[in-house]
Structure 1
Amino acid sequence: MEIENVRNILLQEWDPLDVGDNANLADEYDAYLPTILNLVNAGHTSREIAEYLKGVEENMGITLPAERRTKAAFLLAG
């Protein structure tokens, strides 16, 4: 999966900070891209990716509806 695809999924489907509509903040989640790309390229399941996203949310002090991280993880896992 390409880095731009991952970035778009994070901004459009997951987006815990609700910045997806602001083009100036398109790089907001870039710090997480290497880990997510590693998970995806290593064949991790959508459940494992969702768990990683949940941990990121917890570190941010944010709790999203599970559906948002589940949908993003499903799209990332392909």
Structure 2
Amino acid sequence: MGTILAQAWDPLGTVKKGGFYDEYDSYVPRIVHQAKQGATVEELASTLVSIEIERMWVAPDMSRALVVAGLIKNLFDSVGCHPAKT
């Protein structure tokens, strides 16, 4: 998950500038929790955009967020990670 955020998302451009891949690791638990609960691509993208605005103070990029959210959703779907049925 950290690799997806670092390579595909990277809203600060840190990794592209040679920075560390763990730059966005603090956001992984929140996104993983959401994905495990069955969040849609749009919901995941909204979370990414929210992080961009509230935590990083950068202009949000919904197009990029949707692409990254799709990657995250595909990852969780491919390993069979779905919400528990109650």
1:61 equivalent in alignment to 2:45: no
Corresponding position of 1:3: none
The question of whether the paired residues in 1 share the 8 Å contact of 2:53 and 2:60 is answered with no
What is the alpha-carbon root mean square deviation over aligned residues?
A: 1.3
Q: Relative contact order: is structure 1 or structure 2 higher (C-alpha 8 Å, sep ≥ 6)?
A: 1
Partner of 1:40: 35
Q: Distance in 2 between matches of 1:65 and 1:57?
A: 8
* Count of residues in correspondence between the two structures: 72
Query: 1:51: how far off?
Result: 0.5
Please give the alpha-carbon distance, in whole angstroms, between the structure 1 residues aligned to 2:39 and 2:60. 22
Question: Which stretches of structure 1, 4 residues or longer, exceed 6 Å deviation after superposition?
Answer: none
CA contact (8 A) 2:6 2:22 kept: no
Pair member with larger Rg: 2
Separation (CA, whole Å) in 1 of partners of 2:39 and 2:61? 22
Q: Percent identity?
A: 33
- 3-state SS of paired residue (1:52): helix
Gaps of 5+ in 2: 75-86
The structural deviation recorded for 1:44 is 0.6
